Amino acid sequence: MAVLGEGTGVTWFSRTVEIIYTVGSMLILNKTAGVFSKPSKRKVYGFLRTFNFHPGPQFLHKLVLGIETSCDDTAAAVVDESGKVLGEAIHSQTEVHLKTGGIIPPVAQQLHRENIERIVQEALSASRISPRELSAIATTIKPGLALSLGVGLSFSVQLVKQFKKPFIPIHHMEAHALTIRLTNKVEFPFLVLLISGGHCLLALVRGVSDFLLLGKSLDIAPGDMLDKVARRLSLIRHPECSIMSGGKAIEHLAKQGNRFHFDINPPMQHAKNCDFSFSGLQHIIDKIIMQKEKEEGIEKGQILSSAADIAAAVQHTTACHVAKRTHRAILFCKQRDLLPHSNAVVVVSGGVASNLYIRRALEIVANATQCTLLCPPPRLCTDNGIMIAWNGIERLRVGLGILHDTDGIRYEPKCPLGVDISKEVEEAAIKVPSLKMKI
């Protein structure tokens, strides 16, 4: 039996699976589990139930186990061909990283190591299938934090070898983009906006693995910027926001604030492309906070009385910036006949997509361009194992990127999505008509 190094053993699989598949053969059962002398069938099934495993119905369709460890969530899920989620489990590291004020990669790696076996086991147990019933194992191998990706990949390679399953390496952004096809009947092509703590891009999705990149952030992602602003405002000390992510805390506080107290121009107003930038906005907000601290006579680390107004202003500026780039992307795609002229689908996903203010700004754009705006439910917007398993199903269906040999497979911390046509978008220099952002 394969035993993983570094404390992420897969011996429990060996034990459980051997038992399931040897119900009729007590010899192997005795040898493997070493717990029953002459077990009755009732005892065996009782033992199996302690693992939440049942011999269960035979699945006629494809089943994929998805594993995600690209950043700070250890997640796994089993999804079938119809998009049904049979089992899922997730361990979020957010609370730990909130305390240290950001993700420390070796800490994230250690937490992935501590949790991956349990999380995969939980997802499989909940799905009531054994690893042998899987059609394939799909795992995020790019892009992401090297130390985090490595944990998921080495664990997956062990599983793949142990159960002799095909392996499907997954691009994290491709998985985010395709999630909507699990929840809604969405055909290719569609436009996708991915906004989170680590990602910010606009892409046209023409097929499972056929993407045109229209624009991306030139510096940091919007979630990263909101997290930095929230940290600078010490929102972790705010009684209503102490366990919220930075972005969520900003959205929460913004509801109590007045965005008109600060007049901030959206970034890159004169660049007629679909790229984004958020670090300039972060510095403007930093300056405002410093000024306000002086005016209110308070120290860094205390909460400003104007914190809610600042939150409202940064959220509004972010929404306007994101909406304008998305508007230009829609116009570009329509101009080039890359999207249908009416009823085109625009998908927004990623952690920041759960922000209802930003979503309303995008709805204004969608209405003005006769598009339909779709967003996966919040639990599927953020990192999860379901999207990875679903990406595996999508790839299995079209027979793309299914490996029967994992030798030489490497994770890739940096990896662009699709064919970059952002220069072409810039050359088109599309002027976006102004829209009233009455949110």
Stretch that binds ligand KG4, among 48-56, 96-104, 182-190, 344-352 (CB under 6 A): 344-352
Measured from the CB atom, the residue of 88 and 309 that comes closer to Zn ion is: 88
Rounded to the nearest 10 degrees, how much is the dihedral formed by the CA atoms of 37, 38, 41, 42?
-70
Measured from the CB atom, the residue of 363 and 383 that comes closer to Zn ion is: 383
For ligand KG4, the binding residues in 68-87 under the rule CB under 6 A are 71
Per-residue mark of binding to ligand KG4, 202-241 (x: CB under 6 A): ---------------------xx-xx--------------
Q: Which of 351, 376, 401, 418 binds ligand KG4 (CB under 6 A)?
A: 351
Q: What does the angle CA 363 – CA 364 – CA 366 come to, to the nearest 5 degrees?
A: 60
Query: Please, which residues bridge with residue 66 across strands?
Result: 77, 138
Cβ atoms of residues 413 and 142 within 8 Å: yes
Instruction: Examine residue 106 and say whether the peptide bond preceding it is cis (omega within 30 degrees of 0).
Output: no
The whole-angstrom distance between residue 50's C-alpha and the CA centroid of its chain comes to 32
Query: Please, which residues bridge with residue 102 across strands?
Result: none
Stretch that binds ligand KG4, among 121-129, 190-198, 256-264, 362-370 (CB under 6 A): 190-198
Q: Which of 197, 376, 401, 418 binds ligand KG4 (CB under 6 A)?
A: 197
Q: Which helix (H) or strand (E) holds 290?
A: helix 279-296
Which residues, 6 or more positions from 174, have their beta carbon under 8 angstroms from its beta carbon?
208, 209, 211, 391, 417
Q: How many CB atoms lie within 10 A of CB 137?
A: 26
69 binds, among ligand KG4, Zn ion, none (CB under 5 to 8 A by kind): none
User: Which residue bears the tokens 């069938």?
Assistant: 41
CA atoms within 13 A on the CB side of 2: 15
User: Which residue bears the tokens 């957010």?
Assistant: 94
Using rule CB under 5 A, residue 383 touches Zn ion: yes
The amino acid present at 105, given as its one-letter code, is: P
Per rule CB under 6 A, count of chain residues that contact ligand KG4: 21
Using rule CB under 5 A, residue 73 touches Zn ion: no
Using rule CB under 6 A, residue 426 touches ligand KG4: no
For ligand KG4, the binding residues in 89-128 under the rule CB under 6 A are none
Extract the tokens encoding 206: 């023409």
The residue number with the shortest CB distance to Zn ion is 383
Measured from the CB atom, the residue of 116 and 375 that comes closer to ligand KG4 is: 375
Q: Which of 166, 189, 198, 385 binds ligand KG4 (CB under 6 A)?
A: 198
For the CB of residue 373, give the shortest distance to ligand KG4 in the complex, in Å. Answer: 16
For the CB of residue 351, give the shortest distance to Zn ion in the complex, in Å. Answer: 7
Which among 12, 14, 5, 31 is positioned nearest to 163, based on CA atoms? 14
* Interatomic CA distance for residues 329 and 345, integer angstroms: 12
For ligand KG4, the binding residues in 366-385 under the rule CB under 6 A are 382-383
Using rule CB under 6 A, residue 246 touches ligand KG4: yes
**What are the residues binding Zn ion (CB under 5 A)?**
383
**What are the residues binding ligand KG4 (CB under 6 A)?**
71, 196-199, 223-224, 226-227, 245-248, 251, 350-352, 354-355, 382-383
